[in-house]
């Protein structure tokens, strides 16, 4: 069994709660109150800013030039493409760029991104990959599941969000990150694998907390 398979299995209970979360299901069938989605968009933007910093630290921690190049490309794509797409999505829900930049960070978003940055500063590239995979892989699986249930229907106001996380480009990113973790995990000792598991499970818990925060619009 690959390392990522084992980690996803260990996080199964938390992940099932995420997949059945009312916020997630509301995106899929279009019933999510728009004010909750607007709140989520603002916090997700604050998350993306710190997420970019984690990629930058990943470049510094990478041993091989190919990994450095891939992480640098992901950082550039996030800063230059994904965040602009996020601003466009926000504009469609009445949040202009100026308002988006002024969004105050919630306690949960701050805690989650502080966890990611702490791992990135102190840990190995394998730990960085483990910290990011719960978000990357779960969003791919969420998007795919919602699309299968009709989330891409023209009548769904959130179809653009569903489409973003079912795209070929996003799937390739999630698969690359998962493959990176599996490759870096080969031959690691018990203590290192234990640390990777701890990082992965904590990120999984923060993912669930992020959805809860958005559902309650909790600062």
Domain ranges of the chain: 3-216
Nearest to 109 by CA among 56, 48, 52: 48
Confidence of residue 26 (pLDDT cuts 50, 70, 90): very high
Segment 167-185 shows an average pLDDT of 88
User: May I ask the CATH class of domain 3-216?
Assistant: mainly alpha
In DSSP notation, 26-40 reads: HHHHT-S-HHHHHHH
The helix (run of H) or strand (run of E) holding residue 217 is: none
Mean pLDDT over the full length of the chain: 90
- List the catalytic residues: 135, 207
In this prediction, residue 153 carries a pLDDT of 85
**What own/partner pairs with CB < 8 Å and gap ≥ 24 does 183-188 have?**
184/124, 184/125, 184/126, 184/129, 185/3, 185/126, 186/3, 188/126
What is the distance between the alpha carbons of residues 208 and 24, in angstroms, rounded to a whole number? 11
In this prediction, residue 169 carries a pLDDT of 81
The pLDDT tens digits of the residues spanning 60-95 come to 999 999 899 888 887 887 787 777 777 888 888 888
pLDDT at 154 over 90: no
State how far the alpha carbon of 114 is from the alpha carbons of 53, 123, 140, 141, 189, in Å: 11, 13, 23, 25, 26
């Amino acid at each position: 069994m690959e390392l990522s398979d084992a980690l996803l299995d260990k996080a199964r209970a938390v992940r099932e709660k995420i997949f059945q979360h009312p916020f997630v299901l509301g995106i899929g069938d279009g019933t999510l109150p728009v004010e909750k989605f607007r709140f989520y968009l603002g916090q997700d933007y604050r998350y993306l800013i710190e997420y970019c910093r984690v990629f930058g630290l990943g470049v510094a921690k990478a041993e091989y030039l190919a990994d450095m190049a891939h992480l640098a490309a992901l950082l550039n794509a996030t800063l230059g493409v994904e965040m602009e797409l996020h601003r466009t999505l926000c504009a469609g829900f009445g949040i202009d760029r100026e308002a988006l930049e002024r969004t105050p960070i919630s306690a949960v978003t701050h805690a989650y991104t502080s966890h990611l940055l702490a791992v990135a500063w102190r840990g190995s590239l394998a730990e960085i990959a483990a910290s990011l995979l719960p978000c990357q892989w779960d969003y791919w699986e969420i998007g795919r599941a919602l699309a299968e249930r009709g989330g891409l229907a023209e009548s769904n106001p959130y179809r653009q969000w569903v489409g973003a996380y079912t795209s070929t480009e996003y799937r390739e990113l999630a698969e690359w990150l998962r493959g990176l973790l599996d490759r870096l995990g080969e031959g690691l000792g018990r203590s290192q694998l234990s640390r990777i598991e701890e990082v992965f499970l904590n990120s999984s818990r923060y993912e669930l907390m992020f959805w809860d925060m958005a559902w309650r619009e909790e600062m």
